[in-house]
Structure 1
Amino acid sequence: MTTTNKVHKENILIGLEAKNKTEVIEEMAAVLYQNGYISDLATFINDVFIREEHMTTGIGKGLAIPHGKSDAVVHSTVAVARLGNKVEWQSLDEQPVEFVFLLAIKNQDKNGEHLRILAELSEKMMDDDFVTQIKQAKDQEMLYQALI
């Protein structure tokens, strides 16, 4: 999977507590900022929310893939969060979200890399076995192993 080299253990969160989609994105972006993947937290968050305004990123099955292509991204990556409680996301299946995959993509990335990563993640999430595997992951290491 192309996303294999974009998922880093330090960007996987288990039990993220948030009341809503805004808090989820802000908390995940803060981790990316702390880990050096983005240089400007406010700019990146704004870019993610601009994308959210166009169409929901809640794809169903309790999964969401928000993403931001931004000048604030230093290194393209994917942050992953298993939420401590489900959050309303205006998902396509109208169900709350429990797993969030936040894509942080450099504006300078060429050849539609963000579209390839998004397509690969979306394809994996259509696989019921993959979804079951990530939902059964009990800790950061198990989730990381399921993703790579």
Structure 2
Amino acid sequence: MSVNFLNFNLHFTMKLSDLLSKEYILLGLDINTKEGVIEKMLSLVSNHPNLVDNEKLREDVLKREEEMSTGIGKNIALPHAKTEAVTQPILAFALLKKAVEFDAIDSQPVRFVFLLATPEQMLAQHLKLLSRISRVASKEEIRNRLLETKDPASVLSVFIEEEKAFPEI
């Protein structure tokens, strides 16, 4: 069984636009603290079909955040965890109504938040997904387009369009 599971993971598409769905996108999130934003993102995915343990996910995401801020610069935060709390990757996105201090590496507040959780055994995919999110979201044109989105479907469209030329992970 574990061999089949590993094979499935190796061929599982890992485009952000495939992992993200409208139910896990929030626009105009009006929360004023880093902790509040992370809690809201965790709440957003609490009914995700790939999530088997809400409390474990919360614990692992907060533990990772304590180690070092996931504010990656350019107004982007990427709270994440490798965790036994999920069976397959989970991705959520929020656009904050106003910038929130996140202890980012560039000292700039955050408006774009991605929550990523992958199974423990998917280390390579986890790193590739973190890299892809960073690569896509760090483009000023993409961030500007995301700021103009009016609904979750238009957010998905931005990612789909941007990832057309990307290789599969």
1:47 aligns with 2:60: yes
Q: Secondary structure at the match of 2:111?
A: strand
CA distance in 1, matches of 2:40, 2:137: 23
Alignment TM-score, normalising by the size of structure 2: 0.79
Equivalent in 129, 144, 153 of residue 132 of structure 1: 144
Aligned in 2, Cα 1:120/1:82: closer, same or farther, shift over 3 Å?
same
CA distance in 1, matches of 2:38, 2:17: 21
Q: Which of the two has greater strand per residue?
A: 1
Mark the runs of 5 or more structure 1 residues left unpaired by the alignment. Answer: none
Q: Which moved more, 1:18-27 or 1:96-105?
A: 18-27
Equivalent in 101, 115, 118 of residue 127 of structure 2: 115
CA distance in 1, matches of 2:73, 2:86: 27
* Residue identity opposite 2:155 in structure 1: L
CA drift at 1:71: 0.8
CA distance in 2, matches of 1:36, 1:66: 19
CA distance in 1, matches of 2:28, 2:52: 25
**Structure with larger Rg:** 2
CA distance in 2, matches of 1:39, 1:142: 29
Q: Percent identity?
A: 36
- 1:103-147 per-position Cα deviation (integer Å, ceiling 9, x unaligned): 0111232x6101000011111123221121112212212111112
* Residue identity opposite 1:23 in structure 2: G
* Residue identity opposite 2:55 in structure 1: A
1:144 aligns with 2:149: no
Is the 2:30–2:97 contact (alpha carbons within 8 Å) kept by the matching residues of 1? yes
Is the 2:71–2:102 contact (alpha carbons within 8 Å) kept by the matching residues of 1? yes
CA distance in 1, matches of 2:151, 2:137: 19
1:93 aligns with 2:106: yes
CA distance in 1, matches of 2:28, 2:140: 22
Is the 2:72–2:104 contact (alpha carbons within 8 Å) kept by the matching residues of 1? yes
Mark the runs of 5 or more structure 2 residues left unpaired by the alignment. Answer: 1-13, 161-169
- 1:50-91 per-position Cα deviation (integer Å, ceiling 9, x unaligned): 111222211222111110111111331210001123211001
Equivalent in 13, 18, 22 of residue 9 of structure 1: 22
Is the 2:17–2:156 contact (alpha carbons within 8 Å) kept by the matching residues of 1? no
Is the 2:89–2:118 contact (alpha carbons within 8 Å) kept by the matching residues of 1? yes
Equivalent in 73, 86, 94 of residue 60 of structure 1: 73
Is the 1:75–1:106 contact (alpha carbons within 8 Å) kept by the matching residues of 2? yes
Partner of residue 117, structure 2: 104
Q: Give the total of aligned pairs.
A: 147
